[in-house]
Structure 1
Amino acid sequence: WLGGEGDGWERGPYWIDGLLPLAYLLDDQQLKDKVQPWIAWSLSHQAESGYFGPIPFETTPEPEPGLQKTPRRDWWPKMVMLKVLQQYYTATGDERVITLMSNYFRYQLNELPHTPIDHWSLWGNRRAGDNMMVVYWLYNITGEAFLLELAELIQQQAFPWERLFLNQDCYEEKHDPWHYSRVVKRYPYDQAQLDNLCIKQYGSFHTVNLAQGIKKPLIYFQQHPDSLYLRAVKQAFRDIRKYHGQPQGMYGGDEPLHGPAPTQGVELCSVVEMMFSLEKMMAITPEIQFMDHLEKLAFNALPAQIDADFQTRQYMQCANQVEISRRARNFYQDVGHQGTDICYGVLTGYPCCTCNMHQGWPKFTQSLWHATTGNGLAALVYAPSRVKARVGAGEGVEVEIHEQTTYPFSDTITFVLTTPRTVDFPFHLRLPAWCTQAEIRLNGQAWAQQAGNQIVVIDRSWQDQDRLQLILPSAITYSRWMDYSVAIEKGPLLYALKVEAEKKWVENPDHYGNYYELSATSDWNYALIENYLQQPARHFQLQRQAMNDYPWTLEAAPLRITTRAVKLPHWKLYNGMPGPLPWSPPRLQLQGWQLQTVELVPYGCTSLRISEFPTVWFDELEQ
């Protein structure tokens, strides 16, 4: 990707895909300088045929540790670089991007009929929605009809995710281990094999492919607005939740889908790619569940898997993890990675996540604000930010809105408008499904109270320094998971048991590099009281502390919940993980059990944790 014999596949584009938006959002020249050689080489080295990217080798080179030199012609990594160039154009308006994409997409239209999207790797067909997404983006700029023809060709060759999501009668018996990679590999697909693939099967899909592929039906929906595509995506999310779900918003899959146990791994690439898919889908269709789900991932799964200084990360996280150590666990890949999948490092597990994790926060930031019909603005997910936008009829007026909040650690979001003159425009606000009744205040006065799970529109004449306040009250609630375990939630935040830890840095000479381990120094084997779940407001107490600049650590956690629990002596450590969840809830007599106060903190602040709790019922306790 820089013209030499180095990286020629996905890792370089992965890194730039997060670095570029970070550089331009922060207007950081040092970061822009890091990005520029990658952009410049691609823009200045397009072949006459329209091909762009790494120059193919005449002879296969010798491998080097850490470098993926081939396959250089693969369609898949170019999909990532197309996303990079799309963002670069959005930031700079550099017309060379439009020229490169137009030429490349004509090249694809000519080549794909005899060199299909999965000719070099199956990743191309699984992730073809990313290619299609940029084709549509370019069409909205140039209007060239051949782009719609190309999108149809990509749809024809792409993995038929929408069909597979709607498969409800597929065979549930096991096929080959991790059979997604052993069958249905190439276009044209075997129709009988397609009929036997569905989400409910263990091992049916690679989890990162699923995270990326889940948006493809709605990407194509833009050209063919058939309700089937939205129905397929919603069914996929229901099946993921039922058969593989974890309460931080992800699913067990290490690397294939691997069921709902809270000790199954969740790959970091899956987290950031699912976030990106949700960001793209919510821009196409105003489904509140996509926006709520995006916040669930951003405020729980993402910060929990990356160290506070961004120097290490986990390849795999688990909803319940009480020991971070190098040993083989019940993950598909862990033996192949010599037991490093759960360790915090740079190269532990597999290096793709080190390159790809950077897109998480910058792209979430990109998705805070959206333009709307009627020349308005929409705030669809919430975080402290500033946006400049041209709103209103005709040439419009450039306004700035300052979003002031400590959300998700508070319920209140304030928008302060700066405008050179009065301007009429609609302002859209998402009210999450978990909020039973939101309050909207304008310049200190009550404006409306609205039920959650909708988008409300405030369409009015706006003046300089108008203040719009959105209050999203939330209650402490619980959800049910594997073996009737429970997860404690409040608003977009999942809560987990606070587990103290001892940290050990390991100098490791092999190719997995240095890493650190954590061992629990406090008890973790607690069950919550089932009786108390009937009235959470009475038995779970929320406590607040001042918030610092980086709240995602155990020490800095701004919110804490205390409640009473009992220790289960028979629930023990097994192979470095919590043993199988005890079935919930057994009905017990209180005699012989000691109720103890336990502390829960936001999941994103934890490294060791229990977030899926067993429960017990005591006949003598009130509800």
Structure 2
Amino acid sequence: MHDPIRPGRRGFLQASALGALASWIPVESGATTRPASTAVFPPATLAPQPFQLLPAGSIRPAGWLKRQLEVQAEGLGGRVDETWPDLGPNSGWLGGKGESWERGPYFVDGLLPLAWQLDSPALKAKAHRFIEWTLENPWPNGMFGPKSNDDWWPRMVMLKVLTQYQELTGDARVVPFMTRYFHYQLGALPGRPLRDWGRMRWQDEVASILWLYSRTQDPKLLELAALLKKQGYDWQAMYVNYPFKEKTDAKMVEAKNKNAFMEDDGLQVHGVNVAQALKASPVWSLISRSADDRAAIHHQLEQLDRYHGLPNGMFSGDEHLAGRSPSQGIELCAVVEAMYSLETALAITGDAVLGDRIERIAFNALPAAFTDDMWAHQYDQQPNQVECSLHRRPWTTNGPEANLFGLDPHFGCCTANFHQGWPKLTASLWMACADGGLAAAVYAPCHVRTMARGVPIEIEQETDYPFRDNIAITLRPASPVAFPVRLRLPGWCRAPSVKVNGETVQASAGAGFVTVERQWSAGDRIELSFPADVVTETGFNDSVSFTRGALVFSLPVGEAWVKWRKRGLTNDWQVYPTSQWNYAAGEPGKVEQHAVGPRPFAGATPAMTLSVRGRLVAWKAEEGAADPVPAKPAPEDEPYTTLRLVPYAGAKLRITSFPKLAS
């Protein structure tokens, strides 16, 4: 029997580490409880969930990922409110009379985790203004937000913000605030049902409802979730006999005498809706306890890949589903929303293949949509993008500004919403396991502070992945503790290697996760090696694209940047080609590694290059867009040459899908 007043060494170490853990995430002015230190899994009423995201703030970026987040913070990600009135001091989400719909919540949904991951007082203060106004100005009936609209949709985004904020700060106002709102909504929805965006995006709110239910077990929350699903669009049913197998006919969403864009005809093929809906079946499976619901995401992804898939891991959607031609685009909002949906689904399903998809999108499509300094972005990006100018393009329904780089090209939703991409990826790198273990779900350099079976633990993950093949993980529990560590084995790796303190652990290609269960002590080291082959993938019209691991490679086209107009602290740009791009490509050749620079995806300093045999062929552009890849192009009267490809994101003008070089 021990003296409860004088803890032993183990208790002292645990208490010290808990103190350090709590001090890492400061409690804000409205908080009366400590921030969360452990993941909260769904209670028994709901389906078991194999993984769970760690509480917001548990993971901080390191290495190249930290540099990337700093680039975001120093660019539009941290300063857009200083130059864009829609997020300025007159925002309706700050009590003003300016934009009062989705843009304030969108902005804070990414700014909040970015601020804490970089421990930036300035960014925390910016985020805190929006949150404080929201919490301190509820409507008398339980509704919240600007009184100039009562749309359910923007509240769904702000609820995501509040769940993160509560985990970061322990603010005791959040749980009762959300409870009052959900009780109000349960009573109001029968008379004022979901419509347009909210009807299509109901699953985002259900995720927040389940977050709260896991903490309060309030039965009214499950009633509300069921009502939202009943009023919401049935995404799973859409894919049973998938009807959208061709590029969307613009006439379908521009019908006369009705606003078809805002009805099912337009909304069910809207790229961002489709991206957000990827989480619908997994999220609902927690309530339905249905294995079919949990697995449905794989069928949905297969259908999207088959009929609309692009080599950057996304599907086309410019603004609506657009077929497989790599000259079609995908909206930046869809990129970050697909990532968030997949991160949510990975936690719910435990399916490693979703981690592969997250990485392909995050390391290619996400950074490609920005200038290297992140002071300008595109609304639409194209895998085969040979000009960014005010031409009409082959878009389904978007306008001529859609692939310019700028402050708010075409429409401002992406200017407000892109902020969540990198921070939420960072928050998803490691996850808690239902059995008390931890899982490495996605790979990038980071530092983790969390708990494993009641013991505080720090994890250092050092790597230049995806630019390199090796990852080193050092575990530092406050005291020795036995628990499983699950390590995702990328599906593309044919010979994964796992070592613990120098001893080899059996790891089979295609296994999804390898589990190492042992007693861990401070300083234990896991070494991973995921050697990657260059793979030639066949796509639209038998075109070929090249990947190595999680990276997609593109031919960079010479770029002439022409300032179109000044936009406060930034500019809008058109980009014109200065070199030939109409090449067919053959077998890949040598891979060369270079230093990972301060801007990791910058085209001027690529971390890796790939040589490919090529030859000019008859292939042209019209209205600034490359024609669809020709299946059998005639060769030009030019010799064979060696093409130097770079990671996709580094080439702002590029060819990613090539006609296959005739042998």
TM norm structure 1: 0.87
* Mapping 1:402-481, distance limit 5 Å: 402-481=460-539
The code of the aligned residue for 2:641 comes to: Q
> How far is 1:614 from its partner?
0.4
Q: Is the 8 A contact 1:203 1:257 kept in 2?
A: no
Name whichever of 323-332 and 607-616 sits farther off: 323-332
Q: Deviations over 1:112-146 (max 9, x none)?
A: 0111011xxx0010011111110111000101111
Question: Residue 606 of structure 1 corresponds to which residue in structure 2?
Answer: 651
The code of the aligned residue for 2:135 comes to: L
**619, 624, 629: which is aligned to 1:571?**
619
Q: Deviations over 1:403-452 (max 9, x none)?
A: 00000001111001123321111111111111112100112232333213
Q: SS where residue 190 of structure 2 aligns? A: coil
Give the whole-Å Cα distance in 2 for the aligned partners of 1:31 and 1:461: 39
Question: Residue 168 of structure 2 corresponds to which residue in structure 1?
Answer: 91
**Distance change >3 Å, CA 28–CA 157, structure 1 → 2:** same
Matched positions, count: 568
The code of the aligned residue for 2:390 comes to: R
The code of the aligned residue for 2:105 comes to: P
Q: Deviations over 1:193-243 (max 9, x none)?
A: 8xxx8xxxx995111111111211111110112233244322221111111
Q: Deviations over 1:567-618 (max 9, x none)?
A: 11x21222112123111488x9xx9652101111110111010001101322
> How far is 1:175 from its partner?
9.2
Question: Residue 295 of structure 1 corresponds to which residue in structure 2?
Answer: 359
Q: Larger RCO: Structure 1 or Structure 2 (Cα < 8 Å, ≥ 6 residues apart)? A: 2
Give the whole-Å Cα distance in 2 for the aligned partners of 1:447 and 1:165: 40
**595, 599, 608: which is aligned to 2:640?**
595
> How far is 1:361 from its partner?
0.2
Give the whole-Å Cα distance in 1 for the aligned partners of 2:604 and 2:638: 30
> How far is 1:171 from its partner?
9.8
> How far is 1:348 from its partner?
1.5
Give the whole-Å Cα distance in 2 for the aligned partners of 1:553 and 1:174: 36
Give the whole-Å Cα distance in 2 for the aligned partners of 1:307 and 1:501: 12
**130, 136, 160: which is aligned to 1:44?**
136
Q: Is the 8 A contact 2:145 2:155 kept in 1?
A: yes
Q: Is the 8 A contact 1:205 1:256 kept in 2?
A: yes
Question: Residue 162 of structure 1 corresponds to which residue in structure 2?
Answer: 236
Give the whole-Å Cα distance in 1 for the aligned partners of 2:267 and 2:547: 29
Question: Residue 252 of structure 1 corresponds to which residue in structure 2?
Answer: 316
Name whichever of 451-460 and 490-499 sits farther off: 451-460
Question: Residue 25 of structure 2 corresponds to which residue in structure 1?
Answer: none
The code of the aligned residue for 1:302 comes to: L
Q: Is the 8 A contact 1:499 1:522 kept in 2?
A: yes
1:548 lines up with 2:606 in the alignment:
no
* Mapping 1:354-373, distance limit 5 Å: 354-373=415-434
Give the whole-Å Cα distance in 2 for the aligned partners of 1:599 and 1:9: 45
**Distance change >3 Å, CA 464–CA 295, structure 1 → 2:** same
The code of the aligned residue for 2:144 comes to: F
**583, 596, 607: which is aligned to 2:631?**
583
The code of the aligned residue for 2:107 comes to: W
1:525 lines up with 2:573 in the alignment:
no
The code of the aligned residue for 1:147 comes to: L
Q: Is the 8 A contact 1:438 1:452 kept in 2?
A: no
Name whichever of 474-483 and 497-506 sits farther off: 497-506
**87, 99, 103: which is aligned to 1:11?**
103
* Mapping 1:64-463, distance limit 5 Å: 72-118=149-195, 122-168=196-242, 176-178=251-253, 205-335=269-399, 339-392=400-453, 396-463=454-521
Q: SS where residue 563 of structure 2 aligns? A: strand
Q: Is the 8 A contact 1:322 1:499 kept in 2?
A: yes
Q: Deviations over 1:347-392 (max 9, x none)?
A: 2211111111111000000101111122111110010000011112
Q: Deviations over 1:40-83 (max 9, x none)?
A: 11111112311111123xxxxxxxxxxxxxxx100000000000
Q: SS where residue 257 of structure 1 aligns? A: coil
Give the whole-Å Cα distance in 1 for the aligned partners of 2:386 and 2:262: 38
Q: Is the 8 A contact 2:250 2:397 kept in 1?
A: no
The code of the aligned residue for 1:77 comes to: P
Q: SS where residue 390 of structure 2 aligns? A: coil
Give the whole-Å Cα distance in 2 for the aligned partners of 1:206 and 1:137: 27
Name whichever of 164-173 and 92-101 sits farther off: 164-173
Q: Is the 8 A contact 1:502 1:519 kept in 2?
A: yes
Give the whole-Å Cα distance in 1 for the aligned partners of 2:296 and 2:117: 34
Give the whole-Å Cα distance in 2 for the aligned partners of 1:456 and 1:114: 51
Give the whole-Å Cα distance in 2 for the aligned partners of 1:303 and 1:453: 29
Name whichever of 230-239 and 102-111 sits farther off: 230-239
Give the whole-Å Cα distance in 2 for the aligned partners of 1:501 and 1:22: 31
Q: Is the 8 A contact 2:245 2:323 kept in 1?
A: no
**Distance change >3 Å, CA 183–CA 352, structure 1 → 2:** closer
Q: SS where residue 612 of structure 1 aligns? A: coil
Name whichever of 106-115 and 444-453 sits farther off: 444-453
Q: Deviations over 1:278-332 (max 9, x none)?
A: 0111010011221111111100000000112121001110010111222221213
Question: Residue 70 of structure 2 corresponds to which residue in structure 1?
Answer: none
Q: Is the 8 A contact 1:178 1:204 kept in 2?
A: no
**524, 539, 545: which is aligned to 1:487?**
545
Q: SS where residue 163 of structure 1 aligns? A: helix
Give the whole-Å Cα distance in 1 for the aligned partners of 2:442 and 2:290: 26
Q: Is the 8 A contact 2:242 2:303 kept in 1?
A: no
Q: Is the 8 A contact 2:249 2:396 kept in 1?
A: no
Q: Is the 8 A contact 2:555 2:643 kept in 1?
A: yes
Name whichever of 414-423 and 227-236 sits farther off: 227-236
Give the whole-Å Cα distance in 1 for the aligned partners of 2:203 and 2:524: 41
**Distance change >3 Å, CA 576–CA 184, structure 1 → 2:** closer
Q: SS where residue 472 of structure 2 aligns? A: strand
- Structure 1 unaligned segments of length 5 or more: list them: 57-71, 187-192, 533-538, 619-623
> How far is 1:152 from its partner?
0.6
Give the whole-Å Cα distance in 2 for the aligned partners of 1:525 and 1:311: 30
> How far is 1:170 from its partner?
7.8
Q: Is the 8 A contact 2:377 2:405 kept in 1?
A: yes
> How far is 1:174 from its partner?
6.0
Question: Residue 63 of structure 1 corresponds to which residue in structure 2?
Answer: none
Q: Is the 8 A contact 1:412 1:470 kept in 2?
A: yes
Q: SS where residue 41 of structure 1 aligns? A: helix
Name whichever of 438-447 and 102-111 sits farther off: 438-447
Give the whole-Å Cα distance in 2 for the aligned partners of 1:255 and 1:273: 14
**136, 146, 150: which is aligned to 1:54?**
146
Identity of aligned residues (%): 38
Q: SS where residue 426 of structure 2 aligns? A: helix
TM norm structure 2: 0.82
Give the whole-Å Cα distance in 1 for the aligned partners of 2:279 and 2:245: 25
**Distance change >3 Å, CA 381–CA 584, structure 1 → 2:** farther
Q: SS where residue 323 of structure 1 aligns? A: coil
Q: SS where residue 507 of structure 1 aligns? A: strand
Q: SS where residue 222 of structure 1 aligns? A: helix
Q: SS where residue 496 of structure 2 aligns? A: strand
Give the whole-Å Cα distance in 2 for the aligned partners of 1:267 and 1:185: 18
